[in-house]
């Protein structure tokens, strides 16, 4: 058989397989799947086989049995109200993925509109599951969501984690940090330094409450506390506000330091910072600490690179005195790495 005929035959087979994915059935139009939404954003459609005290067994749309822990389930809807599921990743049983808005369910098919506006029909038995995505559609593509929205380099923003969300961070290699959202408006975090050869390690923690959470404005207050084993303790009580979107925002706050021996300082510190998105996964970050007693201000700027769960910060730190001097390189590098979980 000539090579040209073989290529045409292979193309016909591939097109036929693709059409099979888009083929919907009408023999089970009366069946309407239940929707199970998980706390981490996963969504399953199917029928409940058994619901026990600790776990729920479901039969998903692809005919697979999946066991879900009850503590991880946010909602079970007997019937989906066909309210569009915005920015959803659709995972198929063959490993393919589609991203778009789930608009409807007809004739055992889900109607999907992708970010460019094209409508697709995907049969239910080809679907493994759904995953809600965070972000916005910009110029026909899904813009990534910054998972490190709750902080600049080290200072907090006024944004909060949702209950059950959290992150693991490491600053300058020797300062690990873990944070968890204990509610939609409160975060508890802390860590212990790992400085080699040090006789005593630094223990630190933070408790932050978001008082006024809105899409483009937030106000928070909190307490950062640190101590050296069997030596001294101190911290900062702060209030902070963040104004702006995920693409562009400013953060302004006021902190008052204290120590166990001397109590609160008479001179608070101004916290000023901001963030500007450069591309889908890169931001400029600035964080500055300005004492009101005239001491040197601590200044920093740099870049944040982020994906769905992982973010890395690289910055340069200096103070006002070093900048005023003309000799040498006035900056100290800053490195931070964060893994976000729970969504």
Between 328 and 156, the more confident residue is 156
Q: Is residue 139 included in any domain, yes or no?
A: no
Please tell me whether residues 309 and 187 are part of one structural domain: yes
Q: Is residue 16 included in any domain, yes or no?
A: no
Please tell me whether residues 88 and 172 are part of one structural domain: no
Average pLDDT over every residue of 226-236: 85
The pLDDT of residue 283 is 97
**pLDDT tens string 161-201:** 988 899 999 999 999 999 999 998 999 999 999 999 888 89
Which of 133, 153, 178 finishes a domain?
A: 133
Q: For residue 26, what pLDDT band results from cuts at 50, 70 and 90?
A: very low
Please tell me whether residues 188 and 302 are part of one structural domain: yes
User: Where residue 122 sits, what CATH number does that domain have?
Assistant: 2.30.30
Which of 133, 150, 185 finishes a domain?
A: 133
Q: Long-range contacts of range 109-113, CB-CB < 8 Å, 24 or more positions apart?
A: 109/24, 109/25
Please tell me whether residues 229 and 299 are part of one structural domain: yes
Please tell me whether residues 95 and 211 are part of one structural domain: no
**pLDDT tens string 237-256:** 999 999 998 889 999 999 99
**Which of 161-184 are b and which e, b meaning 16 or more Cβ less than 10 Å from the residue's Cβ?**
beebbbbebbbeeebebebbbeee
Please tell me whether residues 177 and 31 are part of one structural domain: no
The model carries a pTM of 0.75
Count other Cβ atoms within 10 Å, centred on residue 315. Answer: 22
Please tell me whether residues 302 and 251 are part of one structural domain: yes
Between 162 and 297, the more confident residue is 297
User: Where residue 192 sits, what CATH number does that domain have?
Assistant: 2.40.160.40
Residue 302 sits in which domain range? 166-341
Q: CA-CA distance, 30 to 32, in Å (whole number)?
A: 6
**pLDDT tens string 114-127:** 877 788 889 888 88
Please tell me whether residues 232 and 336 are part of one structural domain: yes
Q: For residue 132, what pLDDT band results from cuts at 50, 70 and 90?
A: confident
Which of 133, 156, 184 finishes a domain?
A: 133
Strands (E), 174-231: 175-183, 186-192, 202-210, 217-228
């Amino acid at each position: 058989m000539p090579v040209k005929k073989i290529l045409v035959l292979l193309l016909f087979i591939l097109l036929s397989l693709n059409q099979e994915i888009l083929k919907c059935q009408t023999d089970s139009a009366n069946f309407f799947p239940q929707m199970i939404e998980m706390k981490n954003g996963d969504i399953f459609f199917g029928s409940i086989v058994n619901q026990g005290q600790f776990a729920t067994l479901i039969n998903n749309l692809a005919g697979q049995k999946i066991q879900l822990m009850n503590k991880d389930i946010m909602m079970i809807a007997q019937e989906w109200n066909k309210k569009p599921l915005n920015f959803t990743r659709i995972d198929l049983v063959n490993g393919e993925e589609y991203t778009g808005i789930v608009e409807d369910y007809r004739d055992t098919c889900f109607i999907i509109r992708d970010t460019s506006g094209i409508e697709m029909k995907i049969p239910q038995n080809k679907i493994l599951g759904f995953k809600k995505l965070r972000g916005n559609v910009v110029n026909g593509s899904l813009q990534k969501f910054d998972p490190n929205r709750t902080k600049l380099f080290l200072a907090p923003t006024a944004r909060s984690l949702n209950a059950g969300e959290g992150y693991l961070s490491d600053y300058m290699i020797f300062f690990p940090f873990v944070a968890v959202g204990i509610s939609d408006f409160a975060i508890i975090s802390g860590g212990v330094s790992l400085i080699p050869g040090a006789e005593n390690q630094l223990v630190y923690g933070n408790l932050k409450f978001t008082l006024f959470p809105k899409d483009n404005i937030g106000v928070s207050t909190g307490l950062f506390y640190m101590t050296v084993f069997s030596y001294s303790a101190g911290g900062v009580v702060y209030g902070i506000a963040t104004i702006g979107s995920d693409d562009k925002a400013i953060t302004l706050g006021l902190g008052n330091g204290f120590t166990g021996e001397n109590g609160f300082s008479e001179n608070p510190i101004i916290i000023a910072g901001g963030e500007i998105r450069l591309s889908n996964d890169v931001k400029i970050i600035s964080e500055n600490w300005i004492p009101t007693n005239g001491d040197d201000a601590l200044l920093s700027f740099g870049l944040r690179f982020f994906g769905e769960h992982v973010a890395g910060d690289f910055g340069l730190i200096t103070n006002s005195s070093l900048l005023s001097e003309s000799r040498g390189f006035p900056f100290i590098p800053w490195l931070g790495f964060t893994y976000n979980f729970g969504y």
